[in-house]
């Protein structure tokens, strides 16, 4: 072991060399294949002068004493040749025959050589500075890992009975990692939407309410705290508009929410959640920057800031606060420290007596529970059929006979029509139809794409779909997709069989749509697995 530790030191071993020794705890990452594993201790010896880092696993006896284990010792070494000035990274294992891989903390030796070395080489040449803090920097990773594993164990049955096509490993465990739930209740920020009896206000992808959550928390009570996980970018009223281009929009929006929290009088901290999402940075306000006696002046500052976001006139510095609902409610809370509880109680009582005097900022509109669908899916069926028939006749008018084999080997000449741009198609439609489509997201293009059976839209041009050119469905597809296809087979009438001058290009047994009412099958509703309690 001593020879392994001192290898490569050369003549420098005679001099007093300084090494840095770090004692660290390795917390195993939760795995669905094994239960929670206890943390391991290890000693890391960093010899910067010689470019080596040695990892020594430790074991603890009954009395709590630590000693070095003789197996699973390895070293990462950085070296270079002076002649060619090339740098090399290598991984050395002490006594490879003693290496024991548990698949959790200690990987297989092949992983060290094939995976770790490549990652180290990549990281060593990267010069990226993250805009965000390291993951889970505000909490104990030990406690988080234990609680996360317990929650995963508690809700693991949901993964087994997940009825949707989406990946349960992502969607179930993402919600578990956030460790909260969404309460659907549209509110407008005003004096009636305060929560004086709660400890935390949590905004999990709260969209329009995200910038308001620090304000509501600050005005609910002096002890109320907040947690927000911003996703979509909203200001106090409407969408958030970028002001700088030097930062990413996400980073700029996080800085804006931080600014809101600071203006509301919070010490704002930032952290990254360990969840499978690109929007995983949270902002936390746990304590205040002022004493309860300063509540009135701080609330005036909040009001001025909120109004400034809309360009509203604000009171001059040092002037009397405007007689709006927030200031009236907060004015009774500005007492000394010894009377802070009484002051908050009087503030709540005063709010109840005076009732709300309207929203804190006019123009705010909470999102309704049911958002209007504007993807042409809710258009009347007869209107859609009329547009489809009009566009199809337009394309088929420019006859282009296409002779090819169908999927069963039969040769058939079939009118595939011509190709027109979306603009050319739109010019042939009446004004009323275009106005109706304009109110939908994507307009004409969306309607034609939705009519997948009839049309193919590529690079802004519309074609009649030739099903003979479609690639046969692969047998080795995900079970969910194959199941959905089999359930939809022959559940709709074939448009070409009904309306195309040459009929369908495919024989009945090859066409996924019904050639006449006699072939129609009833649509099947996917069966959901019942959860065993």
Cα separations in angstroms, 396 against 83, 447, 466, 502: 73, 18, 12, 11
Q: Residue 260's pLDDT band (boundaries 50, 70, 90)?
A: very high
**Does the global pTM surpass 0.75?**
no
Sequence-ordered strand ranges (E) for 61-199:
66-68, 73-81, 86-94
Cα separations in angstroms, 49 against 9, 17, 46, 520: 9, 8, 9, 78
Q: Which of 1-10, 104-113, 441-450, 466-475 has the highest mean pLDDT?
A: 441-450
Average pLDDT over residues 2-19: 61
Average pLDDT over residues 24-49: 78
> Which of residues 100 and 405 earns the better pLDDT score?
100
- Structure token digits, residue 359: 């929203």
pLDDT exceeds 60 at position 336 = no
Bridge-based pairing of strands 401-405 and 86-94 is unpaired
Which has the minimum average pLDDT: 2-16, 169-183, 318-332, 366-380? 318-332
Helix (H) or strand (E) holding 58, with range, is: strand 52-60
Q: Which of 420-429, 485-494, 522-531 has the highest mean pLDDT?
A: 420-429
pLDDT one-digit tens code per residue, 426-463: 999 999 999 999 888 778 999 999 999 999 999 899 99
Distance in angstroms (rounded) separating the CA atoms of residues 91 and 73:
11
> Which of residues 61 and 449 earns the better pLDDT score?
449
Helix (H, G, I), strand (E, B) or coil at 54: strand
Which has the minimum average pLDDT: 87-101, 370-384, 495-509? 370-384
Q: Domain residues of the chain, as ranges?
A: 2-125, 131-368, 381-519
Q: Which of 323-337, 369-383, 467-481, 489-503 has the highest mean pLDDT?
A: 489-503
- In sign, the C-alpha dihedral spanning 393, 399, 400, 404 is positive
pLDDT one-digit tens code per residue, 123-165: 888 877 777 778 888 888 888 877 877 777 787 777 666 555 5
The rounded mean pLDDT for the chain is 77
Distance in angstroms (rounded) separating the CA atoms of residues 429 and 371:
29
Distance in angstroms (rounded) separating the CA atoms of residues 78 and 90:
7
pLDDT one-digit tens code per residue, 181-195: 334 556 778 888 899
pLDDT exceeds 60 at position 528 = no
pLDDT exceeds 50 at position 353 = no
């Amino acid at each position: 072991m001593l020879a392994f530790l001192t290898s490569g030191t050369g003549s420098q071993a005679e001099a007093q060399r300084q090494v840095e020794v770090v004692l660290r705890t390795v917390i195993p990452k939760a795995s669905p294949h094994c239960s929670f594993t206890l943390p391991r201790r290890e000693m890391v010896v960093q010899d910067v002068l010689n470019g080596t880092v040695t990892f020594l696993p430790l074991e603890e006896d009954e009395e709590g004493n630590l000693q070095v284990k003789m197996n699973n010792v390895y070293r990462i070494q950085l070296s270079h040749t002076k002649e060619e000035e090339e740098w090399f990274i290598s991984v050395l294992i002490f006594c490879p025959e003693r290496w024991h891989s548990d698949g959790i903390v200690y990987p297989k030796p092949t992983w060290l050589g094939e995976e770790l070395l490549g990652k180290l080489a990549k990281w060593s040449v990267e010069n990226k500075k993250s805009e965000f803090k390291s993951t889970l920097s505000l909490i104990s990773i030990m406690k988080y890992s234990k609680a996360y594993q317990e929650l995963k164990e508690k809700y693991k049955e949901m993964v087994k009975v997940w009825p949707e096509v989406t990946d349960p490993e992502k969607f179930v465990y993402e919600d578990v990692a956030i460790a909260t739930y969404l309460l659907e209740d549209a509110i407008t920020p005003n004096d009636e939407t305060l929560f004086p009896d709660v400890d935390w206000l949590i905004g999990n992808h709260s969209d329009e309410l995200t910038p308001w959550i620090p304000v509501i928390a600050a005005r609910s009570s002096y002890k109320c705290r907040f947690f927000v996980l911003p996703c979509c970018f909203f200001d106090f009223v409407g969408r958030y508009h970028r002001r700088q281009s030097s930062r990413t929009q996400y980073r700029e929006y996080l800085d804006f929410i931080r600014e809101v929290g600071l203006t509301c009088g919070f010490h704002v901290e930032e952290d990254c959640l360990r969840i499978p999402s690109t929007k995983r940075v949270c902002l936390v306000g746990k304590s205040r920057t002022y004493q309860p006696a300063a509540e009135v002046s701080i609330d005036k500052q909040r009001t001025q800031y909120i109004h400034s976001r809309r360009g509203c006139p604000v009171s001059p510095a040092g002037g009397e606060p405007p007689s709006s609902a927030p200031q009236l409610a907060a004015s009774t809370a500005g007492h000394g420290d010894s009377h802070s509880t009484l002051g908050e109680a009087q503030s709540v009582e005063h709010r109840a007596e005076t009732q709300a005097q309207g929203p804190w900022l006019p123009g705010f509109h909470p999102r309704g529970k049911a958002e209007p669908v504007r993807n042409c899916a809710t258009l009347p069926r007869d209107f859609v059929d009329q547009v489809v028939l009009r566009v199809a006749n337009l394309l088929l008018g420019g006859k282009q006979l296409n002779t090819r084999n169908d999927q069963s080997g039969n040769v058939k000449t079939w009118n595939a029509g011509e190709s027109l741009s979306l603009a050319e198609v739109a010019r042939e439609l009446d004004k009323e139809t275009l106005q109706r489509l304009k109110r939908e997201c994507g307009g004409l293009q969306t309607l034609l794409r939705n009519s997948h059976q009839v049309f193919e839209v590529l690079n802004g041009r519309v074609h009649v779909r030739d099903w003979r050119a479609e690639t046969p469905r692969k047998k080795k597809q995900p079970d969910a997709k194959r199941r959905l296809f089999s359930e939809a087979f022959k559940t709709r009438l074939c448009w070409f069989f009904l309306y195309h001058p040459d009929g369908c290009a495919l024989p009945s047994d090859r066409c996924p749509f019904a050639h006449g009412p006699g072939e129609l099958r009833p649509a099947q509703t996917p069966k959901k697995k019942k959860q065993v309690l």
